[in-house]
Amino acid sequence: MKPTELKDAVDKRRTFAIISHPDAGKTTITEQMLLYGGVIREAGTVKGKKSGHFAKSDWMEIEKKRGISVTSSVMQFDFEGKRVNILDTPGHEDFSEDTYRTLMAVDAAVMVIDSAKGIEEQTKKLFKVCKMRGIPIFTFMNKLDRDGREPLDLITELEELLNIEGYPMNWPIGMGKGLKGLYDIANQRVELYHPYNGKTYLPLNPETGEVEGDNPLADDSIYQQTLDDVQLLMEAGNKFDPEKIAHGDQTPIFFGSALTNFGVKTFLQSFLKMAPAPEAHKNEVDDHEIEPTNPEFSGFVFKIQANMNPNHRDRIAFVRICSGEFDKGMDVTLHRTGKQMRLNNSTEFMADSREQVSTAVAGDIIGLYDTGNFQIGDSIYSGKQDAELPPLPQFTPEVFVRVSPKNVMKQKSYHKGIQQLVQEGAVQLYTMYNSGDYVLGAVGQLQFEVFQFRMLNEYNSEVVMTPIGHRVARWVDPEQLDPNMSSSRNLLVKDIHGDPMFLFENDFALRWFTGKYPDVKLTAKL
């Protein structure tokens, strides 16, 4: 690709993650977007009918959920001159680590909220993860075809609970059975729920803010009320601020109904205009910025997923391309080992099929078949300049179990399974300082359940997990470490890099320790 072609291709990319509390409508809106992109022809393709609710935290459900969010975890389509990459994220808080890593690979996020429910617990947690990343966040208030909460109420709640400014891009005219349309502030038009004389959009008069010409809503009291609301908003509400939006300090809010495909196109169009194209990434090696249009290829692995397709039993490393162009068969260097490798097996993810990708550029996500070369966070690059992209932050685990194989004769599959699942980032692995026994750490209990299930199903290894409960994990400076400092209240373990850390029984044990050894430096991750 010529430099100008690469630049054009990069400028077209819009790569974002979509987050929501389970059942808010993430799948439905994703499907509508895929329909616009011509990737699927019929709604209902992405996910089969659900037989239950994920929030019940039944691990069988996780597997079902995994079936969907995995095969469709990266989707790509073209729309109005843009190439869009959507990354799905797991809804459950126990997988927030996974969500965070996915957020590292995107340039913006879309948050879907059920307008009848408002900000739910899970939205709060996912949002927090999103906010840490400092990328633009766009909000879609869904299910307007149902009676929901007052829009102003929803925005106030969003601002208070999430500590972000809201800026409504449009405003509902009615809701539920009384839904008439959207007063589209950004596009200066009214979008009708039921088209009138074949028209869906009615332009506004910029002076009066009223519909110009023939208006089916002219005598509608809800429409009149909307005009008043919008006027109040414009006078007293937040001012539209692109700078704040760019940093995730203000969120543009769109109303609509994914199920009835109302407001989705408007959302998609505005979103694609406002969301940033891929930006530069810092090279940790020399602190220089790697521009996305740099002709040398670079990228990092943000997710590794094993056995996505039970018929294939393969393992895929997901790479976010940060610069240059990917060509099938190209040679790259793996920064961690300095080893050269040839990338000749890649796969691109579509909603219902996998197709071989031949070319992809900065902003795109590629899936590479992996035979155990990659770890989460690995950087790869072409050319001579060594590149290390910013590391993926690690969460400090909060729950821990001791783990051992049920059948000691099956050590081989046990070790293989643990090693691979840990490389995937499914759980964190620690070894007891003295005995060498394995301890697993996770952000949420469900991660262990998935681990146990997958060990059995994918590696034929039955594992015994003995809870050691919630613990407070802190890394300790190896220079200051004396193994005699450990006790049952503060277990001494090594992390996967061999760095020592204490697992304290609780905050009390931590305080006791810092009181006893005031000079010993303890650190936490995210």
Residues that bind ligand GDP (CB under 6 A): 20, 22-28, 142-143, 145-146, 257-259
Element (H, E) at 11: helix 3-12
Residue with tokens 């966070």: 377
Q: How far is the CB of 345 from ligand GDP (least distance, A)?
A: 31
92 is in an annotated binding site: yes
Residue 28: which of 47, 14, 51, 52 has the closest Cα? 47
Q: What is the length of the chain? A: 526
Do 492 and 500 touch, CB atoms closer than 8 A?
A: yes
Q: Where are the beta strands (DSSP E) in 346-437?
A: 346-349, 354-355, 359-361, 365-369, 379-381, 399-405, 428-432
For ligand GDP, the closer of residues 19 and 202 by Cβ is 19
For ligand GDP, the closer of residues 258 and 317 by Cβ is 258
For ligand GDP, the closer of residues 193 and 502 by Cβ is 193
281 is in an annotated binding site: no
- Can you give 240-296 as a three-state secondary structure string? CCHHHHHCCCEEEEEECECCCCECHHHHHHHHHHHCCCCCCEECCCCCCEECCCCCC
Q: How far is the CB of 249 from ligand GDP (least distance, A)?
A: 25
Q: How far is the CB of 221 from ligand GDP (least distance, A)?
A: 24
**3 state DSSP class of 410:** helix
Element (H, E) at 222: helix 221-236
Which residues lie across from 111 on neighbouring strands?
Answer: 19, 139
Q: How far is the CB of 125 from ligand GDP (least distance, A)?
A: 15
Alpha carbon dihedral 180, 183, 184, 186, in 10-degree steps, equals -170
- The angle formed by the CA atoms of residues 263, 103 and 390, to the nearest 5 degrees, is 145
181 is in an annotated binding site: no
For ligand GDP, the closer of residues 175 and 387 by Cβ is 175
Q: How far is the CB of 151 from ligand GDP (least distance, A)?
A: 15
229 is in an annotated binding site: no
Q: How far is the CB of 58 from ligand GDP (least distance, A)?
A: 15
For ligand GDP, the closer of residues 23 and 424 by Cβ is 23
For ligand GDP, the closer of residues 258 and 361 by Cβ is 258
91 is in an annotated binding site: yes
24 is in an annotated binding site: yes
Element (H, E) at 110: strand 108-114
Q: How far is the CB of 268 from ligand GDP (least distance, A)?
A: 15
206 is in an annotated binding site: no
**3 state DSSP class of 366:** strand
369 token code pair: 């078949």
For ligand GDP, the closer of residues 24 and 492 by Cβ is 24
For ligand GDP, the closer of residues 142 and 266 by Cβ is 142
360 is in an annotated binding site: no
For ligand GDP, the closer of residues 18 and 321 by Cβ is 18
For ligand GDP, the closer of residues 21 and 454 by Cβ is 21
143 is in an annotated binding site: yes
Q: How far is the CB of 90 from ligand GDP (least distance, A)?
A: 11
Q: What's the rounded Cα separation, in Å, for the pair 484 and 135?
A: 45
22 is in an annotated binding site: yes
21 is in an annotated binding site: yes
Which residues 6+ apart lie within 8 Å of 97 measured at CB? Answer: 395, 425, 443, 447
Query: What is the phi/psi pair of residue 124, to 5°?
Result: -60, -45
Q: How far is the CB of 487 from ligand GDP (least distance, A)?
A: 45
Q: How far is the CB of 50 from ligand GDP (least distance, A)?
A: 6
Tell me the C-alpha to C-alpha distance, in Å, between residue 122 and each of 87, 159, 214, 425.
Answer: 18, 16, 44, 21
162 is in an annotated binding site: no
Q: What's the rounded Cα separation, in Å, for the pair 269 and 206?
A: 21
477 is in an annotated binding site: no
Residue 217 CB-half CA count within 13 A? 30
Q: What's the rounded Cα separation, in Å, for the pair 98 and 479?
A: 32
Specify binding-site residues: 20-27, 88-92, 142-145
List residues forming the annotated binding site for GTP. 20-27, 88-92, 142-145
